[in-house]
Amino acid sequence: MPDLNVNGVAIDDTFAEAFGMRATAIVITGPNRKWARQAAITMTGFATSVIGCGCEAGIDVELSEDETPDGRPGVRVMVFAMSTDELQKQLQNRIGQCVLTSPGSACFAGLIGPTELKMGAALRYFGDGYQISKKLGGRHFWRIPVMDGEFVCEATTGLTKEAVGGGNLLLLARSSAQTLAAAEAAVERINAVPGVIMPFPGGVVRSGSKIGGKYKGMIASTNDAFAPTLKGTVKSALDPDINAVLEIVIDGETSDAVAAAMRAGIQAVVELGPEQGAARISAGNYGGKLGKFLYHLKDLLP
């Protein structure tokens, strides 16, 4: 239950429980910002949760022309998975189907690490023998002929085993409009934190889940304790005046990045206040038994 109150917003004395993951990053460039972003959006589609999508992915940051290897507008994308093999599979398929196919695109390493994942080194075979290997400044690229010219793709990108997935905030409000306003404010603030993504639509998820369920084979099912329509039917975690809950899930390149993102989100919600936004902030956890990363809300208060 709420333990603290900041600007009228109750803060639960609880914690978010997150998990270690594998992650990589790539830089996608295009002939202009529109097409660089389009390739990134397409590549990160259907990547909200490893439960059903195989990976979690999203846009980290947009890059200016002087921040990319080829001097064109770009986007840094991050991809998270539970294993190196799955991450390699998802990366190869998503670049091949969503970036290679996008007009004028190019793809570069967005992370440096001792372990590498294949990009151009795997996709080069699409060139059907006409692909060209190029080394420049200690980096290895492949030039693959396509119908609008060439697809330039760096051979590999780095992998980190220090990534974290599942940092989260639960925003509780008196109405759907208020909780959405709080979520939008938090997402906007978190977007300014480097090295994190929010993989769900617009950074927000309404179908928060718990582990398992009553039906055989269900890995996850609705988080009934936070479902307003089930108050009085189940053991609810909601106050009588709470009628809507939204969750923000955060994946980060490092644990510190996740903590910074959660802190930024909390600050935005607190500043908005309970009249316009959330009346209470909580977080999802499994009692500290499953994930090794615990983010206590009271330690993240602005």
Q: List, in order of start, the domains of the chain with CATH numbers.
A: 2-18+163-300 (3.30.70.520), 22-160 (3.30.70.520)
pLDDT at 34: 98
pLDDT score at 26? 98
Q: Measure the CA–CA gap between 254 and 114, rounded to whole angstroms.
A: 16
Q: Please write the tens of the pLDDT for every residue from 91-110.
A: 999 999 999 999 999 999 99
- Whole-angstrom distance, CA of residue 171 vs CA of residue 206: 10
Q: What are the DSSP E strand ranges found in the chain?
A: 2-6, 9-12, 15-29, 56-63, 74-81, 106-109, 115-118, 132-136, 139-146, 149-154, 156-173, 196-197, 209-211, 220-222, 244-252, 280-282, 293-296
pLDDT at residue number 2:
52
pLDDT at 215: 96
Which residue stretches of the chain have pLDDT < 70? Answer: 1-3
Q: What does the block give as tokens for 73?
A: 């507008």
Q: What pLDDT score was predicted for residue 256?
A: 98
The predicted pLDDT at position 114 comes to 86
pLDDT at residue number 290: 86
Is this model's pTM higher than 0.75 or not?
yes
What's the pLDDT score for residue 302? 76
